[in-house]
């Protein structure tokens, strides 16, 4: 595992782009995440800095990027970031280093020239950075499993990171409207009365995702260090859940109750940017099974976790506050386990954690937990109550990586607004 702190993480570094120095902002110069954006009909790649986007194509035209950094910038210019994921880690690191130097106060770049490469983020449409080649959704929070399935977590969920293969074609960027799905469900829940219609128990799941830069050959499992090296960068994930459909259909596992939409934040925060926020993986108590050999690694035990505060807002009210470091399994363990049977991972795969619930009451990271499956309503600032999401509701996820002595970084909003179910022709 190569988790290195370098000059791009320097907490004293400031940018001449003043909005990047705003306390509490997601995109200080220590972050520099990659994304795709559109102005008019022009789609291209860029890097977030404060409230601006560094246009990679425009920056390449200046000739200020050199060596392998210029090669990585060429891969990041769009109209997809898939080529960037194919770049060597050293090239992407070199690009971040040169960007950090060009846009820092006292850096080597000509500010007048560099200003021509900046696009106001508010004047753009942020897009899906690339189409995922595959999407896997894990369930790696023991607190979520206990609340959803009973007090005692099944032995399997404590012995391995369980998951299902999701629907990559329905992964969408933040801001995409979410249409309430229709399907079959029991009404009332648990009865023998089966209806087909708009989902009555629409939910969200506050999750976290990692994009993979490469894969493994069919039949060849991955060791833990190799799994870590495959991780390119991260995003926020909301795996919208149709609980009525899900609970009724789950004989073989999630299907239509999960496949209708998954929203992600549009920026890919690199693993290098997250290096200062790595922490020890969650330990195991004497009553819990030991970590299996294929998922055990000394470096992962010492630095496999990431300290990221995650929140969910509904109608302007914060209803969830949890932390990624509380998960029972690490990101690298999820990746390694996905390939443990020889299943081939591929460049551009998106792997999600599942609901990031913690032990605290405010760390319940979906409405099924918060409302006890609709049994206890939550109050919103406008005086209304919610058991489940209603048409017109807007749900926003946010994340903030924090560590003492370092500048916090964020991921941008992960937002979706519920639209009514569509009438059948």
Q: pLDDT (tens digit, 9 = 90+) per residue, 161-206?
A: 999 999 999 999 999 999 999 999 999 888 899 999 999 999 999 9
pLDDT at 3: 77
pLDDT tier, 66 (very low <50, low <70, confident <90, very high otherwise) = very high
Label the pairing between strands 378-379 and 385-386: antiparallel
The CATH code of the domain at 7-127 is 2.30.30.230
The two tokens of residue 387 are: 């058991």
Q: Is 144 a catalytic residue?
A: yes
Instruction: Tell me if the bond preceding 79 is cis, omega within 30° of 0.
Output: yes
- Torsion, Cα 376 253 339 167, to 10 degrees, reads -80
Alpha carbons 421 and 183: distance in angstroms, whole number: 10
Higher confidence at residue 223 or residue 156?
Answer: 223
Q: Is the pLDDT of residue 424 over 90?
A: no
Distance, C-alpha 240 to centroid of its chain: 13
> What residue ranges do the domains of the chain occupy?
7-127, 135-419
Give the model's confidence band at 97: pLDDT under 50 very low, under 70 low, under 90 confident, else very high. very high
Q: How far from the centroid of its chain's Cα atoms is residue 282's Cα?
A: 20
Average pLDDT over residues 349-364: 97
Among the listed residues 9, 42, 144, 337, the single catalytic one is 144
pTM here?
Answer: 0.96
Are the C-beta atoms of residues 305 and 283 closer than 8 Å to each other?
no
Distance CA 58, CA 78 (A): 12
Tell me if domain 7-127 and domain 135-419 are identical in fold.
Answer: no
Helix (H) or strand (E) holding 174: none
Overall average pLDDT of the 122-145 stretch: 96
Residue 374 in this model has a pLDDT that exceeds 90: no
**Partner residues linked to 198 by β-bridges:** 182
* Contact yes or no for 354/141 (Cβ under 8 A): yes
Q: Which residues contact 215 (CB under 8 A, 6 or more apart)?
A: 230, 339, 344, 345, 346, 347, 349
Residue 1: band (very low, low, confident or very high) from pLDDT cuts 50, 70, 90: very low
Percent of the chain predicted with pLDDT > 70: 98
154 pLDDT band (50/70/90 cuts)? confident
Residue that the structure tokens 């406008």 belong to: 382
CATH topology of domain 135-419: Fumarylacetoacetate hydrolase; domain 2 (3.90.850)
Hey, how many other C-beta atoms are within 10 angstroms of the C-beta on 110?
11
- Summarize the confidence of residues 362-389 as an average pLDDT: 92
């Amino acid at each position: 595992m190569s988790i290195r702190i370098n000059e791009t993480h320097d907490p004293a570094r400031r940018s001449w782009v003043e909005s990047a120095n705003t306390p509490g902002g997601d995109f200080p110069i220590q972050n520099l995440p990659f994304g795709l954006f559109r102005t008019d009909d022009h789609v291209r790649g860029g890097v977030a800095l404060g409230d601006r986007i560094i246009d990679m194509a425009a920056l390449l035209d200046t000739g200020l990027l050199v060596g392998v950094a210029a090669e990585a910038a060429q891969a990041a210019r769009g109209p997809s970031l898939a080529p960037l994921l194919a770049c060597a880690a050293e090239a992407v690191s070199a690009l971040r280093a040169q960007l950090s130097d060009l846009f820092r106060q006292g850096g080597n770049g000509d500010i007048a020239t560099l200003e021509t490469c900046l696009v106001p983020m508010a004047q753009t449409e942020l897009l899906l950075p690339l189409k995922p080649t595959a999407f896997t959704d894990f369930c790696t929070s023991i607190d979520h499993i206990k609340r959803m399935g009973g007090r005692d977590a099944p032995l399997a969920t404590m012995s391995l990171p369980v998951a299902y293969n999701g629907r990559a074609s329905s992964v969408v960027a933040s801001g995409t409207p979410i249409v309430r799905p229709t399907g079959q469900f029991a009404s009332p829940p648990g009865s023998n009365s089966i209806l087909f219609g708009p989902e009555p128990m629409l939910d969200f799941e506050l999750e976290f995702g990692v994009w993979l830069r490469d894969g493994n050959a069919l039949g060849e499992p991955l060791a833990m260090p190799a799994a870590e090296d495959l991780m390119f960068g991260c995003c926020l994930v909301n795996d919208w859940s149709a609980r009525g459909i899900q609970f009724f259909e789950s004989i073989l596992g999630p299907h239509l109750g999960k496949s209708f939409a998954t929203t992600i934040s549009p920026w890919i925060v690199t693993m290098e940017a997250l290096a200062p926020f790595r922490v020890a993986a969650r330990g195991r108590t004497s009553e819990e099974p030991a970590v299996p050999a294929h998922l055990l690694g000394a470096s992962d035990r010492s630095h496999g976790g990431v300290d990221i505060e995650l929140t969910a807002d509904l109608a302007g009210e914060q209803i969830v506050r949890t932390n990624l470091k509380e998960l029972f399994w690490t990101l690298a363990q999820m990746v390694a386990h996905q390939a443990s049977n020889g299943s081939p991972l591929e460049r551009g795969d998106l792997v999600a954690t599942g609901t990031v619930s913690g032990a605290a009451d405010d760390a319940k990271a979906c409405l099924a937990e918060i409302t006890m499956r609709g049994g206890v309503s939550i109050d919103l600032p406008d005086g209304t109550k919610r058991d489940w999401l209603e048409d017109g509701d807007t749900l926003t996820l946010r994340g903030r990586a924090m560590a003492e002595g370092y500048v916090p970084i964020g991921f941008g909003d992960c937002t979706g607004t519920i639209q009514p179910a569509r009438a059948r022709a």
